[in-house]
Amino acid sequence: MKLYGYWRSSAAYRVRIALNLKQLNAEQVSIHLVKNGGEQHSEMFSQLNPHHLVPALIDEDEQGEFTLTQSMAIVEYLEEQYPQHPILPTNLKERAIVRAMSQSIACEIHPLDNLRVLQFLVKEMGVDEEAKMKWYHHWIHLGFKALEVQLADTAGQFCFGDSPTMADICLIPQVYNAYRFNVDMTHYPNIVRIWLQCNQLPAFANAAPEAQDDAS
């Protein structure tokens, strides 16, 4: 198994956490999203993912190697193909709740604050640093306010009960980014508590951006 990613990519961060929780080994291949105009645009990587996004996961079955893209699809694949150490509840309704929490982060918050969106705001729209940060903080707060309310009903030690799930896999990279961009987290005690709880686990700590070989 091989994972193409970037140390600061939130989406690659999710997959690293999932691999660690499931105790799966994958060779890590760095695709630097900034150097050389962005290595995700190289001919080699474009053949793996024409969308020019990380992560990309290579696995194999009886038909040989194949490539998967999109972090949520990869995480779902890992859950189904390697069901040991599950990251979704067994109950159908609860699985749907965890998926919804996960997608509220991965599909509603993250895309609006992703690197290529921020780069477009600055390079193409002429947005200055203050306006860029206002944009970033707006979408984080909008998503985290709703999630904080939901966690009051679902959380135990983690986002859903007392075992880490796909929701935690999505939340932790987003909180990492919130701190990186100086978002005021004082209004989100449940989110902060879960952030601290998750990062006590090696599966999360070892997946953190600064723990990666390509961190710079």
* Domain extents in the chain: 2-85, 92-203
Q: Do strands 27-30 and 2-5 pair parallel, antiparallel, or not at all (unpaired)?
A: parallel
Q: What is the DSSP letter of 105?
A: I
pLDDT of residue 183: 97
The CATH class given to the 92-203 domain equals: mainly alpha
- At residue 167, what is the residue type? A
- The fold of the 2-85 domain, in CATH, is Glutaredoxin (3.40.30)
Tokens of 212: 């990666």
Residue 175, H or E segment:
helix 166-180
Burial class (CB in 10 A: 0-12, 13-18, 19+), 181: middle
- Do you know the residue count of the chain? 216
User: Using CA atoms, how far apart are residues 190 and 37, in angstroms rounded to an integer?
Assistant: 39
| List of the chain residues with pLDDT < 50 | none
* pLDDT (0 to 100) of residue 36: 84
Please provide residue 183's backbone torsions phi and psi, each rounded to the nearest 5 degrees: -75, 135
pLDDT of residue 11: 96
Q: Which residue has the tokens 């038909």?
A: 63
Is 12 in contact with 55 (CB distance < 8 Å)?
Answer: yes
Residues sharing a CB contact under 8 Å with residue 1, sequence separation 6 or more, in sequence order: 24, 25, 26, 27, 57, 58, 59, 60
pLDDT for residue 161:
97
Report field, pTM of the whole predicted structure over 0.85:
yes
Torsion sign, CA atoms 204, 70, 114, 186? negative
State the amino acid at position 94 in one-letter form: E
